[in-house]
């Protein structure tokens, strides 16, 4: 050690500025090995904690994504179910819980063969010691109905009927490509009750009526072992839950007479309009709410037109009904769909229970949500 000038070694020693004992210049090999072992031990602990935190975050994110998708689906279901579905001869809405013979509109729940039982729900068995409460996967349930968005509100103290933002809108055959019955017959969109009326705007039309359906796309998306593998692979089948919407003209008296539009135009220009082949298959027929009430020309869930995919990786979509006089929700059965268009009017409907279950491949877990809507 270099000594400062002017100070003797004795003076430096007295001040503690010189090194006493050995002349060692660093750590020993043992000390280095011990320090490295301790460092590695701490790093392992920290890395395991970091991995656990990442797994937790990944799981929470997956749950959040599933919940967000389920919330969006629930909001869509509730918004549609809260609207009117049936009207009488005067245009007054009919509630399903006090069901009367409708003139326009319909409400239908269709089910295929019930799915296979997955497992016993032991939590519910405690309340029903003599009953086996089974969880099932359902992929054949269809919730199908018409919606009527008419409402009344106050604007600046003035009563206004039918808010424009509530109208259902659909693009149709552009005028540049020739005459379109929907654009040339505005009278079919005028409601006798007054207020703001559905309208034509460019190459789109709007109406207060629509045909809506919720169902699983019958084309299998994958399995829990191979989510995007179609029907191949083992595991529980996965599907897409879809919503279909088709605009319905209030009156089709001037839409289906005379020379009709060709059915081939449906796939080109009327994908979001409720229409099907006429008696003559090459002709196109535009539905009215009265046509839907009669059960004519409704959509089928193999139709990709007018479809919006709400959820992927769906395990089950179940619809159950509580009818007047019943104490709990139940299936309607494959042979007896609930349909207000039946020759014999069905039992009034008190409430609908809908359950949706989805699968998350990252966390290898499912998430289910159930809603009950008063009718």
**Burial class of residue 182 in the structure, from the number of CB atoms within 10 Å of its CB (0-12 exposed, 13-18 middle, 19+ buried):** buried
> Which has the higher per-residue pLDDT, 18 or 312?
312
% of the chain beyond a pLDDT of 70: 76
What is the structure's pLDDT at 186?
52
pLDDT, tens digit, 9 for 90 and up, residues 232-290: 767 888 999 999 999 998 878 778 877 788 888 888 888 888 888 888 888 888 888 98
Residue 109 pairs with which residues in a beta bridge? 143, 338
Cβ-count burial of 108 within 10 angstroms (0-12 exposed, 13-18 middle, 19+ buried)?
A: buried
Least confident of 85-89, 110-114, 216-220: 110-114
Question: In this predicted structure, what is the pLDDT of residue 142?
Answer: 92
Domain assignments of the chain as residue spans, ordered by start: 32-144+308-375
Burial class (CB in 10 A: 0-12, 13-18, 19+), 140: middle
**Would you tell me how many other CB atoms lie within 10 Å of the CB of residue 312?**
17
Mean pLDDT, to the nearest integer, of 291-314? 80
pLDDT, residue 107, reads 93
H/E segment holding residue 291: helix 289-293
Cβ neighbours of 338 (radius 10 Å):
21
How high is the pLDDT of residue 355? 93
User: The whole model's pTM is what?
Assistant: 0.77
pLDDT at 171 over 60: yes
Say if residue 212's pLDDT is above 70: yes
- Quote the percentage of the chain above a pLDDT of 90: 17
How many Cα neighbours within 13 Å face the side chain of 243? 17
Which of 159-173, 188-202, 248-262, 290-304 has the least mean pLDDT?
Answer: 188-202
Compare 70 and 56 and report the one with higher pLDDT: 70
Question: Would you say residue 78 has pLDDT above 90?
Answer: yes
Lowest mean pLDDT among 68-82, 153-167, 321-335, 346-360: 153-167
Residues 188, 252 contacting (CB under 8 angstroms): yes
Q: What is the pLDDT of residue 154?
A: 58
List C-alpha distances in Å: 347 to 316, 336, 342. 26, 12, 11
Mean pLDDT of 153-166: 64
**pLDDT bucket at 130, cuts 50 / 70 / 90:** very low
- Residue 371, Ramachandran bin (φ over 0: left; ψ between -120 and 50: alpha; else beta): beta
- Residue 56, φ and ψ in degrees, nearest 5: -65, -45
């Amino acid at each position: 050690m270099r000594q400062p000038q002017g100070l003797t070694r004795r003076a430096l020693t007295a001040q503690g500025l010189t090194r006493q004992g050995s002349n060692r210049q660093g750590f020993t090999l043992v000390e280095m090995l011990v320090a490295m072992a301790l460092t590695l031990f701490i790093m392992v602990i920290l890395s395991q904690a970091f991995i656990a935190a990442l797994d937790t975050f990944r799981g929470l994110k997956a749950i959040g994504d599933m919940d967000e998708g389920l919330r969006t689906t629930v909001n869509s279901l509730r918004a549609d179910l809260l609207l009117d579905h049936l009207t009488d001869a005067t245009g007054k809405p009919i509630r399903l819980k006090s069901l009367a013979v409708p003139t326009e509109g319909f409400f239908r729940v269709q089910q295929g063969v019930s799915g296979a039982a997955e497992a016993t729900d032991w939590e519910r068995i405690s309340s029903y010691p003599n009953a086996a409460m089974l969880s099932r996967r359902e992929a054949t349930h269809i919730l199908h109905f018409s919606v009527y968005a008419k409402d009344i509100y106050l604007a600046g103290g003035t009563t206004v009927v039918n808010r424009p933002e509530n109208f259902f809108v659909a693009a149709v055959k552009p005028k540049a490509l020739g005459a379109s019955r929907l654009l040339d017959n505005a009278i079919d969109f005028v409601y006798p009750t007054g207020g703001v009326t559905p309208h034509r705007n460019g190459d789109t039309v709007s109406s207060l009526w629509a045909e809506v359906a919720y169902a699983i796309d019958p084309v299998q998306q994958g399995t829990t072992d191979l989510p995007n593998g179609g029907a191949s692979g083992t595991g529980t089948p996965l599907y897409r839950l879809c919503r279909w919407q088709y605009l319905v003209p209030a009156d089709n008296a001037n839409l289906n007479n005379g020379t009709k539009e060709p059915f081939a135009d449906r796939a080109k220009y009327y994908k979001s309009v409720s229409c099907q082949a006429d008696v003559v298959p090459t002709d196109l027929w535009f539905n009215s709410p009265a046509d839907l009430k009669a059960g004519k020309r409704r959509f089928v869930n193999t139709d990709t037109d007018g479809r919006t995919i709400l959820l992927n990786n769906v395990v089950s979509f179940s619809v159950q009904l509580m009818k007047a006089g019943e104490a709990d929700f139940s299936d309607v059965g494959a042979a007896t769909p609930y349909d207000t268009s039946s020759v014999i009017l069905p039992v009034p409907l008190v409430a609908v229970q809908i359950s949706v279950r989805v699968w998350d491949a990252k966390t290898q877990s499912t998430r289910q949500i159930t809603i009950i809507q008063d009718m």
